[in-house]
Amino acid sequence: MFEQVDFIGSYPKNSIIPEFEIPEICFWGRSNVGKSSIINYLCDRKEVAKVSTTPGKTVQFNAFNIDGSLILMDLPGYGYAQVSKKVKSKWKDEIHKYLKNRKNLSCLFLLIDISIPPQVIDQEVMKDMGIMNIPFIILFTKSDKCTKNELNKSLKQHIIKLEENWDPIPSYFITSSAKRTGRADLINFIHDHILNSDFN
């Protein structure tokens, strides 16, 4: 799995994204959460998704075909301070339309930086997903930036915050693109619960 990765295209609006007949997964998170790095580590490629030192680089829906059996969609990040309120509102609307109406979307992976305390903006996004009845899996990123004790402490803080609004809390994976942590488990999940099931 993830042997052949082909870029399909970039789309500035949800309405012009082609319809696909195979399962689709998408990755979403704050602009500096390490989304491009996680996509590259998952695909075992260096530049499938462009990694930038400038947050907010992804400003379109970027689609990739994985082995002819799975679509991977890279969504524009949220929370970038230097983007105007008008642009933020536009992209929030476009992404919500995508998440609510995408017929072949099998799973939303929501990326959250575990090396920092729980962020209000992530909590707000998760609440929106609950209101819209859109299930998601959390990918905790940047675990390599924590010591083992720091990681355990941070995970506990995030879980406590999640328990304020979720029962049970969403499923999650702990990942690191730098150390390739969690890659095998994530690929196995995609294989077993998306490609070989009706995960929706």
Structure confidence at residue 57 (pLDDT)? 54
Q: What is the pLDDT of residue 39?
A: 86
- Summarize pLDDT for 53-97 with one digit per residue, the tens: 444 555 799 999 999 999 999 999 998 767 788 888 889 999 999
Quick one: which of 179, 181, 159 has its CA closest to 169?
159
Higher pLDDT, 47 or 111: 111
- Ordered domains of the chain (ranges, CATH): 5-195 (3.40.50.300)
The pTM (predicted TM-score) of the whole model is 0.91
Which residue in 103, 98, 23 sits closest to 66, CA to CA? 23
Q: CA triplet 197, 199, 200: central angle to 5 degrees? A: 150
To which residue do tokens 């491009």 refer? 36
